Amino acid sequence: MNFLSSYWPFIPLSLFIIAVIFRLLDNSTYLFLKRDILVTSSNVSRKLMKKHISLNKDPEFTRQLKKALLYRNFQQNFLILAGISLPPSLYFYFLG
């Protein structure tokens, strides 16, 4: 168990890096701009993505939006896990 104490600080960092990777895979802004849908931010809201998924008739665009929404969900979940794992990892690192 002692050898694991040196790895504890890297757990939240690894989860954060995975979240960044999923954010980079999320290309929802590009998808909207490619379809001439003007967005004001590079971070397209989930609400807008879900709205266009339900209203759009193009199956390819809908599939791409669903994939982008899935990546966005993964990104948010890994960020939450990184935040949750930070206090225990610091506790075990400094007191272990």
Residue 79 lies inside a defined structural domain of this protein: yes
Q: How many domains are there within the chain?
A: 1
Domain interval for residue 38: 3-91
pLDDT tier at 26, thresholds 50, 70, 90 = confident
pLDDT of 88 reads 87
User: What pLDDT was estimated at residue 4?
Assistant: 62
Half-sphere exposure at residue 76, Cβ-oriented, CA atoms within 13 angstroms:
8
Better-scored residue on pLDDT, 64 or 9: 64
Name the pLDDT band for 39 (thresholds 50, 70, 90). Answer: confident
Rg of the Cα atoms in the chain: 18
Average pLDDT of every residue of the chain: 86
- Let me know if residue 96 belongs to a domain: no
- 42, 31 Cβ separation under 8 angstroms: no
